């Protein structure tokens, strides 16, 4: 999967409307690609408004964890 593909599909991913296999491929890419992970963070932050962010927890850290989970 290449970055432009991943970034195009993030909207679908965020809606939870993605096939499991595609979703896995996307998550796999995200875990190894800072650019796309940052893109995902931006998207969730903008669309969702309230990404779970706790006091001292750095956003990028919690993102990394949620992707691997
Ligand atoms: Zn990428």
Question: pLDDT, tens digit, for every residue of 23-34?
Answer: 999 999 999 999
33 vs 59, residue with greater confidence: 33
Contact 37, 63 (CB under 8 A): yes
Q: Distance from first CA to last CA of the chain, Å, rounded?
A: 20
Does 61 score more than 90 pLDDT?
A: no
Q: What is the CATH number of the domain that holds 48?
A: 1.10.10
10 alpha carbon – ligand 1 mean position (Å):
11
57 alpha carbon – ligand 1 mean position (Å):
24
13 alpha carbon – ligand 1 mean position (Å):
14
4 alpha carbon – ligand 1 mean position (Å):
7
55 alpha carbon – ligand 1 mean position (Å):
29
Domain span at residue 56 reads: 3-68
Split into its structural domains, the chain has a count of 1
What Å distances lie between residue 50 and 41, 42, 43, CA to CA? Answer: 11, 12, 11
pTM of the model: 0.62
Residue 53 backbone phi and psi in degrees, to 5? -130, 120
For the record, the structure tokens of 42 come out as: 């931006």
């Amino acid at each position: 999967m290449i970055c432009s593909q991943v970034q195009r599909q993030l909207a679908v991913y965020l809606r939870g409307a993605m096939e499991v296999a595609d979703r896995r491929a996307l998550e796999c890419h995200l875990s190894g690609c800072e650019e796309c992970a940052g893109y995902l963070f931006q998207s969730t932050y903008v669309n969702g408004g309230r990404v779970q962010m706790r006091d001292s927890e750095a956003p990028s850290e919690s993102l990394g964890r949620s992707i691997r989970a």
